[in-house]
Amino acid sequence: MSKIGFIGLGIMGRPMAGHLLDAGHELTTVKRGTLDETLASKGMQELADPKAVAEASEVIITIVPDTPDVEQVLFGEGGVIEGLKPGTLVIDMSSIAPLATQEFAKRITEAGGEYVDAPVSGGEGGAINAALTIMVGATQEGFERAQPLLEIMGKTITHIGDHGAGQTCKVANQIVVALTIEAVSEGLLFASRAGADVAKVRESLLGGLAQSKILDVHGERMINRTFDPGFKIRLHQKDLNLALEGARSLNLALPGTANAQQLFQACVAHGGGDWDHAGIARALEQLADHEIGSR
């Protein structure tokens, strides 16, 4: 069993840390307010800062909101790098910029650690059910060291390539997810405005070529008006910023991604930054002056 420092106990991190504790690993985290009762009851311990967590750990796992947050945890005052022991495995499961990830990997490697970028997809449900898709950028040795731990938290683990490749894959994932949510929103909005029973439309579409996990999960959210976050719009917006910034550097046009980002921005303008990303439907409903499911 490993001594693991787990930093980032949000919507995704809490259940992921719980699975590692259930598997018998010893976990420490950084003290931030009151520790989740379930994690505390399973033996998770709190320490003062990332440096102290690193000093107590063989493995560090981070899952925090954005690139600057990862940089602060790893390299800020009292950061992981100050307490890093030779051979420590650092697994970042956040969704952040691929180029920054390559730089972070270089710095951790030079300090004697092994760096793995392993962003996840599957939302809160995937985290709770240990069914996440995990996209890994690492050396072969780093991947092999991380794989047993990743398999506790996820179902589909793929070694994409070297450092940064996992984050590149995650950006691609977020493009596809955003555009598919938009497509589901438009399809259900069209059906609703035309007077059809959208629940039956969704049921029918799930049996044909249009079927998808997003139509299944988020289509139901749109019909039932349940926009409490599994994954927040402001975080998906951050991921699309990474996509569009990357596209500019590659001289690449991503018009659908840019359009989805504008719809997310419309949601944010209406106070929806913390809605589930299925809430993109609300921006389209405003344009149509019609709510999905209304008659």
By DSSP bridging, strand 120-121 and strand 132-137 are antiparallel
Strand (E) or helix (H) holding 100: helix 98-110
CA–CA separation, 37 vs 43, rounded Å? 10
Q: CB neighbours (10 Å) of residue 29? A: 23
Q: Select which of 51, 170, 232, 238 is catalytic.
A: 170
Q: Are 227 and 221 in contact (CB under 8 A)?
A: yes
Q: Does residue 42 carry a catalytic annotation?
A: no
DSSP 246-282: HHHHTT---HHHHHHHHHHHHHHHTT-TTSBGGGHHH
For the chain, the maximum distance between any two Cα atoms, rounded to a whole number of angstroms, is 64
Exposure string of 231-245, with b = 16+ CB inside 10 Å and e = fewer, is: bbbbbbbbbbbbbbe
List residues with catalytic annotation: 170
